[in-house]
A and B are shown apart, each in its own frame.
Chain A
Amino acid sequence: MTLALYRIDDRLIHGQVVVGWGQPLNVSFIVLVDDEVRGSDWEQDLYRMGVPPSIEVRFASVDEAAHDLAGWEADSRVGILLVGDIDTAVALAERAPQVRRFNVGGVHHRAGRTERLRFVYLTDDEATKLRALAERGVDVTAQDVPSARPVPVGEFT
């Protein structure tokens, strides 16, 4: 198997990821790629608490993820890779060309962002970055839960 989902979600590990996607995909590991969380044992413990013991959680910086991605893709188990924002997704895709898709699962309201979908708010700059990612061949869609329609990048940026 492989990494079944590359997801941008500012809540990182939470119910939609662990239960909503984790159950139907039969996920065995989650990779959380975030430089800040990677540097904090306390934050890592916090995110681990939300995951059942049957699912392994790994924490990586963007640099570490770019280095280790091939190994995760070759893992015999099913995994999910999570990033918390668009800049991290872009940084990872730039360093790891094997990243071929990103699911925008939750980017919420903040000053400067406007609503694109119920669960996606973007600044114009973030929308431009997502389109650029798609133009480089990365399949970018927005979808909060598996039962929802994957919305193509052109419809929300």
Chain B
Amino acid sequence: MSDLRGVIVSHAAVAQALVTAVKAITGIDGALTPVSNEGCGTDALAERLSAAVGAGPAVLFVDLPGGSCFTTSLRLAKKNADIAVVTGVNLAMLLDFVFHRDVSPTEAARRAVDAGGKAIRVTAA
């Protein structure tokens, strides 16, 4: 199951920037695909997202828990049991994900929430 794909679905250029950052840090290329909602209505974004997901299992990393990126992702996941959706994407969860893709989409999504959540904290000066 190493072909588990991560698709980042975001407003503007957030997704592309995250993909670039993951590659810069890990050297891993090809595990993540960026999808932006820039210039998209609902139909166009659904087409863009379907093309990025392809046939295989995938985790969709969405920027916000609402809005067009989110609704489009959930509609696709509803039709495909091999797709899991995580919201609140951050760099920490993606760095964990690219090294742990030999699991099911659901398990990868659970890991992502754990890894991403641990990175959010208040630190003392």
Binding site for B on A (CB under 8 A): 10-15, 18, 42, 46-47, 49-51, 106-110, 118-119
Contact = CB atoms under 8 A, between A and B. Distances in A.
Given A15-B11, A46-B74, A109 B39 contact: yes
Interface string B33-59: 000000111111000000000000000
Contacts of A11: 41-42, 67-68
Majority SS of interface residues in chain A? loop
B70 interface: yes
A15 B65 contact: no
A40 B71 CA distance: 14
Contacts of A109: 39-41, 44
B70 A50 contact: yes
Interface of B: 11, 39-44, 64-68, 70-71, 74-75, 78
B79 to A, nearest CB: 12
A40 B60 CA distance: 24
B64 A50 contact: yes
A67 B41 CA distance: 29
Q: Which of B42, B43, B65 has the most CB of A within 10 A?
A: B42
A106 B11 contact: no
A107 B64 contact: no
A110 B66 CA distance: 23
Contact of B68 (A14, A107, A110, A119): A14
Nearest to A51: B66
Contact of B65 (A12, A13, A50, A106): A50
A50 B125 CA distance: 34
Contacts of A49: 65-66, 70
13 contacts: A14-B71, A15-B67, A47-B71, A50-B67, A50-B70, A51-B66, A107-B41, A108-B39, A108-B41, A109-B39, A109-B41, A110-B44, A118-B39
Contact of B64 (A15, A46, A119): A15
Given A15-B11, A46-B74, A110 B67 contact: no
